[in-house]
Structure formats: structure tokens, C-alpha cells
Amino acid sequence: MFVVLALAGLVAASGAARADTAADCGRFFLKYDASSQTMKCVSGKRKKKQGTGAAREIRRQQRSVQRILNQVQDILTLDELGAEQQRRVRELMTEARQRVQQIRRRTAQLRQEQVSYSQEVANAAQQRTRAQVELARSLEQQQRDLVRQLEARQRQLLQSQRRRSRNTTR
């Protein structure tokens, strides 16, 4: 038990030693990215986290659009709309349209990323299946070859025993 705890401590310490800075990157390690000249967390499942962050961003933008539309509705409830209120309504509606377009673009991008990721996973699964089938065929062939070699060796031994027994009986 003590050995396991000691090993766990060593593994944790070695992970921290690999980090280039004291920044906490959770269970991941920091690595210098020369192209962006920044430190990045590596060895994690970034796609999954990126997707949930994007979904949060989309929901935030949707709430923002709803607030804009509520402002427009509040302005439109006034009995008389002056030039300033009309201008403000047009500005707010333009902003709402732009944000809706951003939401649509980001949603389409996320949908495409999800389709690509699903295809990537399916392709990887197909490759593993093909590799397993090929391995099974190879192992079956090796087994047949070994059985043939074993049978040939057994025949040789049996023949040599028969020859010896014939030679001793003569």
C-alpha cells in the first residue's frame, strides 16, 4: 500500500516537473508552442471542451439577442415614437440581425465539426475493425502453418520410430 502511494506521489511530482511554468493546467502539462509563442495545455481532450464552450457562447449570444429584442419591444410600447426612438429601434434591430447571423454561422460551423468528428470516429472504428480482421486472418494462417509443421514433424518421428523398431526386430 505504501509503495503504491509513494509511486503515485512520484508520478504526480514528475508531471509537475514537466510543466514549464507554475501555472495550474489541471491534469495536463504546459508546452511551448513555437508558432504562437505561447504556453499551451497539452494531453487533453480539447475538442470536447471546445464544443461545450461554443455551446455556452451561443446560449450567451441568444440571451443577448433576447435582451435587444426586449429593448425594442419596450421602445415600441411608447405612445409616440420620435426620430431618436425610431433610429434606436433600427440600430437595435440591425444589431439583433447581426448577432442572429453570427449564431447561425457558429451553429453551422459546430454542426460541421460534429459531423467531421463523427466521421473521424467512424473511420477510426472501421480501421480498427479491418486491422482486427486482418490480424485474425494472419493468426489463423499461422495456426494452420504450425499445425502442418507439427503434423509433418509427428510423421517424421513416427516414421523414424517405425524404422528403429524394424531395425531392432531384424
Report the C-alpha gap between 103 and 111 in whole angstroms: 12
Q: Is 165 among the domain residues?
A: no
For residues 54 and 18, membership in a common domain is answered with no
Task: Identify whether residues 83 and 111 lie together within a single domain.
Answer: yes
Range of the domain at 27: 11-44
Q: Which amino acid is at 54?
A: A
Distance CA(59)–CA(99), nearest Å, equals 12
Q: What is the pLDDT of residue 170?
A: 65
Q: Place 19 in a pLDDT band, splitting at 50, 70 and 90.
A: very low
* Same-domain pairing of 26 and 90: no
113 and 50 in one domain?
Answer: yes
Q: What is the pLDDT of residues 100-121, one digit of tens each?
A: 999 999 999 999 999 999 999 9
Looking at the predicted structure, is the pLDDT value of residue 21 above 70? no
Confidence of residue 45 (pLDDT cuts 50, 70, 90): low
* Domain assignment of residue 2, yes or no: no
Using the Cα atoms of residue 57, residue 58, residue 63 and residue 69 in order, give the sign of their dihedral. positive
Residue 64: name the closest of 100, 106, 107 by CA: 100
Nearest to 96 by CA among 70, 132, 127: 70
Rounded to an integer, what distance in angstroms lies between the CA atom of residue 19 and that of residue 165? 75
Mean pLDDT score, 74-78 = 88
Same domain flag for 98 and 110: yes
pLDDT-above-90 percentage for the chain = 53
Question: Are 38 and 56 contained in the same domain?
Answer: no
Residue 6 pLDDT level (bands cut at 50, 70, 90): very low
Whether the pLDDT of residue 165 is over 70: the answer is: yes
This prediction's pTM = 0.50
- Clarify whether residues 55 and 98 are in a common domain: yes
Whether residue 52 sits in one domain with residue 37 = no
In the predicted model, what is the mean pLDDT of the chain? 81
User: Does residue 72 share a domain with residue 40?
Assistant: no
1-5, 36-40, 118-122 — which is least confidently predicted? 1-5
Report if residue 37 sits inside a domain.
yes
Q: How many domains does the chain have?
A: 2
- Assess whether 56 and 108 both reside in one domain: yes
* Top-confidence residue, 30 or 116: 116
- Pick 63 or 168 by higher pLDDT: 63
Residue 3 covered by a domain: no
Kindly state the average pLDDT of the residues 12-29.
49
Of 60, 58, 18, which is closest to residue 42 (Cα–Cα)? 18
Arithmetic mean of pLDDT, 15-39: 61
Q: Please classify residue 60 by burial: count the beta carbons closer than 10 Å to its beta carbon, then call 0-12 exposed, 13-18 middle and 19+ buried.
A: exposed
Q: What pLDDT does 38 receive?
A: 79
